[in-house]
Amino acid sequence: MSQPPLHSTFDSIAALAGAVGRGDVDPTVLADDAMRHAQAGNGPGLFADLDAEAGNRETSDAALAGVPIGIEDRLVTRRWRSTGGSRMLAAYQSPFDATAVQDLEQAGCLTVGKLACAEFSMDSASEFALFEATPNPWDAQRQGGSGAAAAVARRLVMGAVGVDTGGSLRAGAALCGVSALRPGQGMVSRLGVIAAASSMDQVTPVARGAGDLAALLDPICHFDPQDATSLEHLNGEANRIGRVRESWQTHRMAQQAQGSRPLKNLRIGILEGDGDGLSAAVADSMEAALQTLESLGAQRVAIALSADGQAATAYHLIAAAEAASNLSRYDGVHFGFRAGRYDDVHDMIGRSRAQGFGQAIIERILLGTRVMSHGHYEALCLPAQRVRRLLAQSLRQALSQSCDLVLRPALPDTAPLLDAQTSLAVRWARDRYLAAASLTGLPALCFPGAPDPDGLPIGMQLIGPDLAEGWLLAVAECFQDVTQWHQREPEQH
């Protein structure tokens, strides 16, 4: 296809939705065009399921009417298979839609299809279990990390929603040069999320820029009584549709009121230890981003956190335990993959699980089983949960007293090669900046900074206090007002 998709000719979701609302563009035409481009542009590790006839074709005057999006396969949908990236669920058809999916459809979005992911978003980015590993849109020999992030980067959809457990979507956004906002815990319903780690799974939108993220996040950010961990209020504020949008707009207006120094008085916390082990390119990009923010009026503040050095390890232990528990239900009895041969029921369960799960998940389950097991729980799980408390207290305290937002890299380096063989230690260590938001339940926004000399994207990560989604969006948007990194497009193949 020589022409770019029709939707990509709009600068933003808001612009497209406005055009649809005014009648300047026919959403059916948009939809057909989006479908054709998605099918033509589909490749390994991108769409898991695409169905040209499916999709919400109702023309409506809803706020996001006609906006083409993708839904990561970790969210269940009635109209497409929902695999969670696992052979276990390769043919699974959900009888209900995730709440977030319903919200976006009600908002008028057109779902183009389901997007590929690692198995329960937890296996290696170099080798997915069910799908082919997503190649990086900027360099097909390198990891893209997430089908959702890659599809947005390739302009196959305007936005996507997926599930960030330990940072998979934030990492994907950083690798692919797009933006992702992991909301605070309890803000978006987990009903319909194929659970990996219940206390850390967060529905996360991915899009090209902060404005688009706001458009996708606001409709899904609300209390859901069907999720017992969904918050009705937090610190006196109601968790309702409109909260994020209003907060974002308020912060934007405050920025505008400050003229040429919109981020005046914004204290950006920097962790001294974050510099260790960063590649030179990432360090340079971080510094450039900081200087840009400072030029907008912000000031950097050095902060220190308790237990941050143990965060990645604590994350992996807790995530393994919770995942081992949540994945117990996959046994070939009521749904999902069942082995072809077996002797008795326990043999059937054992073989179905051993064959249906990929090796990385099997190892994760075994680790989690060990962490939870009698005699080891005190020695493995509880210390990790203590690290969690220390970090949660310390980060919230820093954000309330020492700084307003914290800026960290998303990843220590740019996209590794797809076939890179790395040790467990290296893989765990790559999560060291991402683990804090997962463990503490604070909102975190990843956005592109200056790429490396070869043009490979580099992502920055802003972490805010509770309820700061709108604030994060405003600050990122302010950055994006004066930079163009978020507008870069990979060359079309």
Looking only at the bridges linking them, the beta strands covering 179-182 and 159-164 are: unpaired
For 343, other C-beta atoms within 10 Å of its C-beta total 9
For 346, other C-beta atoms within 10 Å of its C-beta total 10
Judged by CB under 8 A, the residue of 9, 29, 58, 93 near another protein is 93
Judged by CB under 8 A, the residue of 35, 176, 296, 390 near another protein is 390
Judged by CB under 8 A, the residue of 13, 194, 286, 403 near another protein is 194
- Count of residues that bind another protein according to CB under 8 A: 101
CB of 231 to another protein, least distance (A): 6
Grouping H, G, I as helix, E, B as strand and the rest as coil, residue 372 is: helix
Residue 487 engages another protein in binding (rule: CB under 8 A): no
Residue number with CB closer to another protein (24 or 343):
343
CB of 19 to another protein, least distance (A): 34
Residue 185 engages another protein in binding (rule: CB under 8 A): yes
Contact set for another protein, span 442-481 (CB under 8 A): 442, 466
Give the C-alpha separation, 390 to 386, whole Å. 6
CB of 439 to another protein, least distance (A): 7
Which part of the chain contacts another protein (CB under 8 A), choosing from 83-91, 203-211, 276-284, 479-487? 83-91
Residue number with CB closer to another protein (150 or 231):
231
CB of 63 to another protein, least distance (A): 25
Give the C-alpha separation, 113 to 133, whole Å. 18
Binding mask 336-355 for another protein (x = CB under 8 A): x-x--xxxxxxxxxxx-xx-
Judged by CB under 8 A, the residue of 331, 404, 431, 469 near another protein is 331
Query: In this structure, what is the dihedral angle of CA atoms 21, 24, 27, 29, given to the nearest 10 degrees?
Result: 180
295-334: buried (b, 16+ CB within 10 Å) or exposed (e) per residue? ebbbebeebebbbbebbbbbbbbbbbbbbbbbbeebbbee
C-alpha closest to that of 146 among 239, 277, 123: 123
Residue number with CB closer to another protein (140 or 366):
366
Residue 196 engages another protein in binding (rule: CB under 8 A): no
CB of 93 to another protein, least distance (A): 6
CB of 6 to another protein, least distance (A): 33
411-438: buried (b, 16+ CB within 10 Å) or exposed (e) per residue? bbbbbbebeeeeeeeebbebbbbbbbbb
Contact set for another protein, span 98-157 (CB under 8 A): 98
Q: Which two three-digit tokens encode residue 112? A: 């183009």
CB of 199 to another protein, least distance (A): 4
Contact set for another protein, span 50-69 (CB under 8 A): none
Backbone φ, ψ for residue 152 (5° rounding)? -70, -45
Cα distances (angstroms) measured from residue 326 to each of 118, 199, 220, 369: 16, 11, 24, 11
Grouping H, G, I as helix, E, B as strand and the rest as coil, residue 405 is: strand
Binding mask 423-442 for another protein (x = CB under 8 A): xxx--x----------xxxx
Task: Identify residue 203 by its one-letter amino acid code.
Answer: V
Give the C-alpha separation, 32 to 291, whole Å. 43
Judged by CB under 8 A, the residue of 53, 228, 260, 493 near another protein is 228
Residue number with CB closer to another protein (164 or 212):
164
CB of 71 to another protein, least distance (A): 12
Residue number with CB closer to another protein (122 or 365):
365
Judged by CB under 8 A, the residue of 8, 82, 247, 285 near another protein is 82
Residue number with CB closer to another protein (42 or 126):
126
CB of 162 to another protein, least distance (A): 14
Judged by CB under 8 A, the residue of 3, 61, 95, 260 near another protein is 95
Give the C-alpha separation, 123 to 136, whole Å. 17
CB of 119 to another protein, least distance (A): 13
Q: Which two three-digit tokens encode residue 389? A: 């408390």
Residue 251 engages another protein in binding (rule: CB under 8 A): no
Decide: 125 and 131 in contact? Cβ < 8 Å. Answer: no
Which part of the chain contacts another protein (CB under 8 A), choosing from 7-15, 109-117, 380-388, 456-464? 380-388
Judged by CB under 8 A, the residue of 90, 281, 362, 420 near another protein is 362
C-alpha closest to that of 169 among 481, 461, 423, 465: 461
Compute the C-alpha angle 163/303/180, nearest 5°: 20
